[in-house]
């Protein structure tokens, strides 16, 4: 089932979201848009996450976004205890992931490459693809989510 975040996860809720995701996800994506500047903090994030980097590629599409006429650099990272800790340490809330201060649009991927979390941070939108157990775990941690039965299931993300 697809759920929409009713409010932005911040503080303990954001940390809880990332913690629960460790059970379901093995990779994450962050995007560097060429049409936006890249601040020093974003450069520091890139350096800090470099040890988790698996691949990067130019792409005009990633979960939640499709660019027309240009591309962005999509980075794929391993998602484990250490990288999850880094995501929480660098961002106090989910929609912090916006250029120029950070990379864009945190997306968490399951091992089958289906998105588990999709964000469009500059629009304040977040979606989750969850089974009932994950939804209950997130709600128990204070996240407010609502079902979106009319939204089509996202496709698996191709390898970078």
- The whole model's pTM is what? 0.95
Q: Residue 78: its pLDDT value, please?
A: 98
What is the distance of C-alpha 90 from the center of its chain? 13
Q: Residue 153: its pLDDT value, please?
A: 86
Collect all residues with Cβ–Cβ distance below 8 Å to 146 and sequence separation of at least 6. 3, 4, 6
Instruction: Show pLDDT as tens, one digit a residue, over the chain (160 residues).
Output: 999 999 999 999 999 999 999 999 999 999 999 999 999 999 999 999 999 999 999 999 999 999 999 999 999 999 999 999 999 999 999 999 999 999 999 999 999 999 999 999 999 999 999 988 999 999 999 999 999 888 888 989 988 8
Q: Residue 42: its pLDDT value, please?
A: 97
């Amino acid at each position: 089932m697809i759920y929409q975040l009713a409010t932005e996860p911040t503080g303990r809720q954001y940390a809880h979201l990332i913690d629960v995701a460790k059970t379901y996800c093995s990779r994450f994506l962050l995007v560097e848009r060429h049409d936006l500047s890249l601040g020093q903090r974003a450069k520091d994030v890139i350096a800090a996450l470099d040890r988790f980097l698996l691949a990067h590629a130019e792409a005009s599409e990633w979960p939640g976004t499709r660019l027309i006429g240009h591309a962005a650099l999509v980075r794929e990272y391993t998602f484990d205890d250490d990288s999850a800790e880094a995501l929480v340490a660098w961002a106090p809330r989910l929609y912090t992931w916006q250029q120029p201060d950070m990379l864009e649009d945190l997306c968490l991927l399951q091992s089958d490459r289906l998105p588990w979390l999709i964000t469009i941070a500059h629009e304040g939108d977040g979606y989750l693809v969850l089974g009932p157990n994950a939804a209950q775990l997130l709600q128990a941690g204070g996240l407010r989510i609502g079902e979106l039965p009319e939204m089509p299931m996202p496709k698996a993300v191709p390898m970078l």
